[in-house]
Chain A
Amino acid sequence: MAVPLIFKTIEESGISTWIRDSPSFFAYWFILSFHALGMGLLVGASVVIDLRILGVARDLPLAPLKGLYGIMWAGFWIQVASGSLLLVAYPTKAFTNPDFYIKLTLIGLAVGAMHKLNKRVFSDSSLSESGMMMKGRALAVWSLVFWTGAVTAGRLLAYTYNYLKYDYRG
């Protein structure tokens, strides 16, 4: 597979080299730890919403959980920012790995399911609690499935890449 030359240009840029090779406390591992924290917020908030829709903590009023979407989106933007920086550090590593595209697709599907859940269930004030649970059930299940897949695909990126850098490709 031909790897676009632009990846080499990015890898040779100052910021890319700094993130990758700097011994600084605030370089690669700092960004990676925020990527883990952002995941915890994004997926953790989604999972709590999904579990409640599926009947965990049934006595808990469902409508106020809409507030968790704020945490979810905060986590999402942390992921976009930290993920972009990781891409700047290792573009060849990510874009030459099919698993990376699987991960992005699953994240898109999971976020889409959560967004739909918000629009169809939480924003429809005519629904009763049991109505919300019934209407949201399928979306909650799909969201859990997609999130599990996205986290798994993301975790496996560290073990499935073909080339670490442009210059190391076969």
Chain B
Amino acid sequence: MNLAHVHLLLNHWPIIGTFIGLGLFLVSLAANVDDLKQVSLGLFSLIALSAIPTYMSGNGAQEAIKESPGVSMAMIETHQGAALLAVIFMEITGAVSLIALWRFSRTVKNPRLSRPARLNLSAVLALAVVTSGLMAIAGNTGGNIRHPEILSGQEETSIAGAAGAALIASIHHFVIDSSMWVWPILEDLHFIGLILLLGTVGVVNLRILGFFKQLPLAPLHRFIAWGIAGFAVNVITGLLFYLGMPDFYIMNVVFQLKLFTIMLAGAILMLFYCTGAFRALGQLGPGEDAPRFAKFIAASSIVLWIAVIILGRYIPFGEVT
């Protein structure tokens, strides 16, 4: 299996998933069903995660097919540009969804305050609509590369594709050529994001496992917002590293493993929030023991995030020469 396979395996999910998520979200808003809202928000967050390896495997697919007859580099660049715009908007949609989910998970005495603000949900809706449009363009331009039979005459051009391609070039220039200090500063921010994520997620998970038992869980969970912020910093800086040196990362097995581990950690977390397992935890007072399922999730979360840190540090070891 090469990265072209991986790209084909992954690339339909974010597009179809965004459409399904948007449909589900519209129904949940119209019917005002909180559970369905949370499922849609969880879906958006998961798609945002899976969109990252989908985009990255595209570089590998490009390597695999660029020499083939009938494949146009211009079409690939248009597709890549459109895909990047779709990814950027998907990440923002995912982040805003995650904030809304976190608000749902808060168990404040006043139930009116424990639900996400109307503005937060409206923002998710608007972003999801824009992202759906961009996903459609990314899908179309991508299909054109290998399916010339669907083209009508000349190569199709796309404004979004051209804008995205220009953005890729300028990000590459910013990260690599603009100053020798950009990369070190991004690295520094990536480490600070790591600290926020590990510190806050770690302390919540340790409490669920039974350490620091005097701490009630609901107020401790406030710290997760800082962990989400750290994770957002690392998604942004991580994408910038990747756009700066895509060839360094895409064939690197350690990097691929790191991404896979992040997906796994994210999927388990979503499972946790969306199955109601968390809601039982919200009531966990001082001295009380968490249910076994929650402990399992907490332990796997700690192990996976530590693995992510170690794999990240090993990326240069996996460099393909």
Contacts and interface: CB of A to CB of B under 8 A. Distances in A.
Given A37-B306, A60-B215, A44 B202 contact: yes
Interface in B151-202: 180, 183-184, 187-188, 191-192, 194-196, 198-200, 202
A33 B310 contact: yes
A156 interface: yes
Given A156-B184, A156-B188, A158-B184, A56 B309 contact: no
A61 B188 contact: no
In order of increasing CB-CB distance, the 8 nearest A-B pairs are A44-B199, A33-B313, A59-B219, A57-B222, A64-B214, A40-B198, A60-B219, A33-B310
Interface of B: 180, 183-184, 187-188, 191-192, 194-196, 198-200, 202-203, 206, 211-212, 214-216, 218-220, 222-223, 226, 286, 306, 309-310, 312-314, 316-317
Contact of A57 (B183, B219, B286, B316): B219
B184 A155 contact: yes
B317 A29 contact: yes
A48 B219 CA distance: 13
A43 B212 contact: no
Given A44-B202, A47-B199, A68-B212, A39 B223 contact: no
A48 B188 CA distance: 19
A36 B184 contact: no
A159 interface: yes
Contacts of A47: 195-196, 199
Contacts of A32: 313
Interface string A61-75: 101110110010000
A43 B199 contact: yes
Contacts of B214: 61, 63-64
Contact of B212 (A46, A67, A148, A156): A67
Mostly, the B contact residues are helix
A159 B184 contact: yes
Given A36-B194, A60-B216, A156-B188, A68 B313 contact: no
Given A45-B203, A48-B199, A57-B219, 10 more contacts: A40-B202, A44-B195, A59-B222, A64-B212, A71-B202, A151-B188, A152-B188, A156-B184, A159-B180, A159-B184
A39 B212 contact: no
11 contacts: A33-B314, A40-B202, A43-B195, A44-B195, A44-B200, A44-B203, A45-B199, A61-B215, A64-B214, A65-B215, A151-B195
Contacts of A68: 203, 212
Interface in A58-95: 58-61, 63-65, 67-68, 71
B191 A44 contact: no
Contact of A155 (B187, B196, B202, B317): B187
Given A39-B191, A48-B203, A57 B309 contact: no
A37 B202 CA distance: 12
A41 interface: yes
A154 B245 CA distance: 23
B310 A37 contact: yes
B286 A61 contact: yes
A141 interface: no
